[in-house]
Structure 1
């Protein structure tokens, strides 16, 4: 892995123009405290402000410093599973409802962060014979359900084109949301790791937040902040690199290959960002250490040269941590009295994370659990304490 002229662990999305938020010093109070200033946390803050909540937001790094601002920049409709798999696992009605909700969320994301989203569509490329059959199966089920899906076969590869999908700058989106949240009255603090959640008191190294409810809206390391979730959420390291601008290929939209283990897109300036090979590195990539490693970076660089055909220099190498669940469905629940968790998006949190945020705000403040049940099903119950569910009638009255 060549590191010459490559900034250490800096994503291609970083433009150097952000002024870091202040750290929290002293004690503050709020109606709600949101831990995590990524896409889901900031969308949640937006929802809380809309309900006239006094909100404090905290992040151990800064806005978008985790996976929310360091991912591949894909905005894909649907759940973690490809649509035909979601139908098989969750039932046709629920799979269609999730797909419809994510389609509706895409323009909301674009409107909330103007200039960050490009409606390009996306492509799932065939990697082998099994992949070919699976793409054909996905297309058949999507067309049966009236969802846009086209078969393509050209110099870029064979597979599916999903015209409703989009690409975006994830870090710029997070920063736009943070600027607006501060303008609307939220108090946001960076470089403020959470040491302890003691009831509804959030303790940090140099201060604390006293609040009515706590929302832990982080993806990677969610099980570290909330040990109740150990065994249900597991953190993985996702690695990426990017090249200097190139005119060697024109890549019109986000591409994913080998069931999405590899993914890439060409940015407006011609540079190409690529991620993947988490599975090829084995157990070592189940890690809370968001540092690029030579084995994965070498595989990424080789793929960039031999498969994608881009030979311009590598300018960025970076990594992020994301939470995975066995079901592919996120965690959205009250893990302690007045403490809610949302995360575990299995590498697909850009759209699902926003829906999770809207759902948890409605469940916690309005007693409306329909948005959460859309994602998690009718068996969802809002409260879990120390792994044991109990009656939550005094906290929330979910609707059917």
Structure 2
């Protein structure tokens, strides 16, 4: 198992270019199953979760041609559906939550799909009810073997229907959308997720021949087509990585320029960091974070303590609350962090408290951060990365701490961040990877 040894206290300076978006990649890679024609994807991130999913598709029979620099060609003309019932598939697919999004394309094109109960970050319950309720309304039947933890889906005929989703699940919307694009008739998805990455999936499907309107809203209308063709698609930059770099710059008093950010798609990310008092300067499509000795949390108009919470798009993404929390440690002032969507995502704060942070865990969903205003540096310590986002939050804390910290279980960080140690070392960090 690999670890990071991080010598903290260095100010960083330079430019960082965000990788391709992980959450978009997991959707669009699954979408290649919808057509036997070639699909070319640009700006795919070279990270564990995406590479694992590509390997899974390759074992399913997809022809994969890696051209380098984030460009991969996929041709799904000879799919081995028998592989879906093999023990090897059950083991591999169960270890990656993103694999759940192969169900929609398989059901749409082949009228059957199989899937083990997926894995992923241990951040609380993540039910799949939205997916299966959608599949059922479109005409599929499913069964679940609780002992084997295995789902079976079949559909002789898929027909468009009006669907009011019980929650605006991103992966649920993606799965239902990919099922509906070749269902007979019209499908309406109301209370659909409308995150930028979901918008990107819609645009990719349209370029393949799908008929979708309402892109960017929570009301999608799909006219089913009989087949889809190939396409070329370029992924957005990873907005979670952009937010992580903003928090990193503030905590380490660094001067960092983040390149090619797609500012028009960032939503509330820049403004939420500004609420912590961080200077976020937009320069064209770049973000410049100057070195700040101090930053002060903005109180509410009536002087009360602010709350930063997650919400479906266009609200603030839950994937950045861990970064907001760690960044607030060295701020002046107090903020309440409210993680609404997952009930185990804040438990990593015990590691931060060991480092000297002043944080009160109110309940599994809420934590109050009392900023220490750089009155002292965090202490170096040894810790383990519990999930992708908390792992990078701990890395940011370690880079700002005094002394040498150790983070184990860093495969969790590698699942979502491409060559993070090399890229940060290139602008002045001191991170050593040890096996």
What TM-score, normalized to structure 1?
Answer: 0.22
Specify the structure having the higher radius of gyration (Cα).
Answer: 2
